[in-house]
């Protein structure tokens, strides 16, 4: 048992980065941002799922919008993961690791109506923006200005996605869209 503890410590040391942050700060920031990274991966797959399985009269618009959103979400994953390594933390290792941490819920339904797809993604992006703002507060607490700056861009993008998803269906229920 003692050798296992020792070996875990040795392994952690192999990936340490001299970032200047305390271990407590690194643990807090890495925990919060790794959970966000899991959310970004889960939301990316769900957005592509709905892009691939879109149907109906607005197929072209919705299919293309979700493709744009998927690309924007995926583009966050590498800078977010690498920010954690710069701090001295570690991050996502596998699909299984993502599934254990994600707060964005999967939707494996065989058929989802276009309006339900758009509404679900709007709620997911709004919730994600809220969690990003929470982590921004944590970055402020620990003086992690660079992560806060990156998060500001990603908050704006998540809020923009929620806005677009709201606008494209604003009158849809009335119009039968
Ligand atoms: Fe595509």
Domains identified in the chain and CATH numbers? 23-175 (1.20.1260.10)
Distance from the alpha carbon of residue 14 to the mean position of ligand 1, in angstroms: 40
6 or 19, greater pLDDT: 19
> Which range, of 1-10, 28-37, 46-55, 113-122, averages the lowest pLDDT?
1-10
Distance from the alpha carbon of residue 52 to the mean position of ligand 1, in angstroms: 7
- DSSP class of residue 54 equals -
Distance from the alpha carbon of residue 120 to the mean position of ligand 1, in angstroms: 19
Confidence of residue 16 (pLDDT cuts 50, 70, 90): confident
Q: What is the pTM of this model?
A: 0.91
Structure confidence by residue, pLDDT tens digits, 64-81:
999 999 999 999 999 999
Distance from the alpha carbon of residue 86 to the mean position of ligand 1, in angstroms: 33
Distance from the alpha carbon of residue 5 to the mean position of ligand 1, in angstroms: 46
Distance from the alpha carbon of residue 114 to the mean position of ligand 1, in angstroms: 16
Span 96-104, average pLDDT: 98
Between CA 129 and CA 154 the distance in angstroms is: 8
Distance from the alpha carbon of residue 66 to the mean position of ligand 1, in angstroms: 9
Q: What is the dihedral of CA 69, 140, 86, 34, to 10 degrees?
A: -50
Distance from the alpha carbon of residue 45 to the mean position of ligand 1, in angstroms: 12
pLDDT score of 175: 47
pLDDT score of 2: 52
Picking from 47, 71, 52, 56, the residue whose alpha carbon sits closest to that of residue 165 is 47
Q: Which two tokens stand for residue 176?
A: 């039968």
pLDDT score of 172: 77
Distance from the alpha carbon of residue 158 to the mean position of ligand 1, in angstroms: 20
């Amino acid at each position: 048992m003692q050798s296992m503890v020792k070996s875990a410590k040795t392994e952690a040391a192999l990936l340490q980065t001299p970032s200047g942050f305390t271990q407590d700060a690194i643990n807090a920031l890495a925990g919060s941002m790794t959970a966000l990274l899991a959310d970004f991966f889960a939301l990316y797959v769900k957005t592509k799922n709905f892009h691939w399985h879109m149907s109906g009269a607005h197929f072209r618009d919705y299919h293309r919008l979700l493709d744009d959103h998927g690309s924007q979400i995926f583009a966050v994953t590498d800078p977010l993961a690498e920010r954690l390594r710069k701090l001295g933390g570690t991050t996502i290792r596998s699909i299984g690791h993502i599934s254990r941490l994600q707060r964005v819920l999967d939707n494996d339904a065989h058929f989802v109506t276009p309006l339900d797809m758009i509404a679900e993604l709007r709620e997911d992006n709004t919730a994600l923006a809220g969690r990003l703002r929470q982590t921004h507060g944590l970055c402020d607490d620990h003086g992690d200005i660079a992560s806060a700056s990156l998060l500001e861009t990603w908050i704006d993008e998540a809020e923009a996605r929620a806005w677009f998803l709201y606008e494209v269906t604003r009158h849809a229920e009335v119009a039968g869209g």
